[in-house]
């Protein structure tokens, strides 16, 4: 039999298989890199989309917070206006009573009693004045008791006399309550 040298053919086959194997590994590596690159781009797009949605939500939350702050400001202003409106309505209701009250003060003040100061704190009235005698203060208190616009008089202070061109005058402080209608008391 003739001798055939199969070594170069085997070497070539081995080289071809080795090249195919290396080519396969390179193709698999390229495919893996391409897949990883594609997955990374896909995940980046998902992250970017979520960040965009997050920015939109943050902007909407800030907008809602601004609207809420405006609503609270409007409610505060509404409360202030409501209290002013109530005060005006109360003043409108009590307007005739003020006239009656001042008229009552003028009617119950006897001759010889001079009012210097009139102070009203809600329904409590403080009358400060001078008198020629203590009996005139007593008459003043009796007149207050019989008047319908002033009730519950109480004498707080009566001090000695001051020399004046009109004679001796005593200082006094009298407290009373202003009568209010039942409708006004319910409103308060």
CA dist list (Å): 164 to 60, 67, 110, 138, 158:
79, 69, 19, 22, 17
Q: For residue 29, what pLDDT is reported?
A: 96
Q: For residue 165, what pLDDT is reported?
A: 58
How far apart CA 23 and CA 36 sit, in angstroms, is 19
Least confident of 8-17, 37-46, 73-82: 8-17
For the whole model, what pTM was predicted?
A: 0.49
Provide, for the chain, the percentages of residues in helix, strand and coil under a 3-state DSSP scheme, each rounded to the nearest 5.
Answer: 65, 25, 10
DSSP letter at 148 equals: S
pLDDT in tens, 134-164: 888 888 888 888 888 788 888 877 777 656 5
Q: For residue 92, what pLDDT is reported?
A: 85
How far apart CA 188 and CA 186 sit, in angstroms, is 5
Q: For residue 188, what pLDDT is reported?
A: 44
Residues in CB range of 108: below 8 A, 6 or more apart: 140, 143, 144, 146, 147, 150
How far apart CA 186 and CA 40 sit, in angstroms, is 75
168 versus 89: the higher-pLDDT residue is 89
How far apart CA 134 and CA 157 sit, in angstroms, is 11
67 versus 182: the higher-pLDDT residue is 67
Instruction: For the chain, list the domains and their CATH numbers.
Output: 109-180 (3.30.1660)
Query: pLDDT-derived band of residue 181, with 50, 70 and 90 as boundaries?
Result: low
113 versus 69: the higher-pLDDT residue is 69
pLDDT in tens, 42-100: 999 999 999 999 999 999 999 999 999 999 999 999 999 999 999 999 888 877 877 88
Please give the angle made by the CA atoms of 153, 98 and 130, to the nearest 5 degrees.
45
């Amino acid at each position: 039999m003739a001798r055939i040298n199969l070594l170069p053919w085997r070497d070539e086959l081995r080289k071809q298989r080795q090249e195919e194997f290396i080519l396969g590994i390179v193709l698999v590596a390229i495919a893996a890199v391409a897949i990883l690159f594609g997955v990374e781009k896909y995940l980046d797009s998902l992250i970017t989309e979520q960040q965009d949605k997050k920015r939109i939500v943050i902007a909407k939350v800030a907008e809602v917070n601004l609207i809420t702050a405006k609503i609270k400001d409007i409610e505060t202003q509404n409360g202030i206006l409501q209290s002013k409106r109530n005060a005006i309505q109360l003043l409108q209701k009590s307007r005739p009573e003020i006239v009656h009250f001042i008229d009552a003060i003028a009617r119950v003040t006897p001759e010889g009693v001079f009012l210097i100061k009139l102070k009203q704190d809600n329904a409590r009235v403080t009358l400060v004045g001078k008198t020629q005698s203590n009996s005139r203060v007593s008459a003043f208190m009796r007149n207050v008791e019989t008047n319908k616009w002033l009730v519950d008089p109480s004498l707080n202070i009566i001090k000695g006399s001051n020399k004046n061109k009109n004679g001796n005058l005593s200082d006094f402080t009298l407290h009373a309550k202003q009568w209010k209608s039942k409708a006004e008391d319910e409103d308060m």
